[in-house]
Amino acid sequence: MKIKAKMKKDMAVVKVLAKHPMETGLRKDKKTDKVIPAKFIKELVCTHGDKVVFHADFGRAVSKNPYVSFSFAGAQKGDTIAMTWTDNTNETLTVEAPVK
């Protein structure tokens, strides 16, 4: 996950690129004719301290390497935010980033 978080006046503007195959589970491998198993992010959450400042429910319709941009109030330069995704196979990843 690549994260950029920057203060713009009193809002923190966050841009995230989640590297994930977002495999729908509806495609077939052309060589083996077997279905490629589904693997897609179901939930993307951003926390600032103990507060959830962003929550998205994704599904198989979201494309590979989803890009998300959002802003939230209540942060200041030097704070840390944490982005977490959880996918349909229950794999999860958390990455922290500083607010610049």
Q: Which residues bind other proteins (CB under 8 A)?
A: 2, 4, 15, 17, 64-65, 67, 69
Minimum gap (Å) between residue 21 Cβ and other proteins: 11
Dihedral, 5, 95, 98, 67 alpha carbons, nearest 10? -10
Is the CB of 64 or the CB of 77 nearer to other proteins? 64
- How far apart are the two ends of the chain, measured CA to CA in Å? 17
Minimum gap (Å) between residue 68 Cβ and other proteins: 10
User: Which residue from 20, 16, 4, 11 is spatially nearest to 69, judged by alpha carbons?
Assistant: 16
Minimum gap (Å) between residue 5 Cβ and other proteins: 12
Is the CB of 63 or the CB of 94 nearer to other proteins? 63
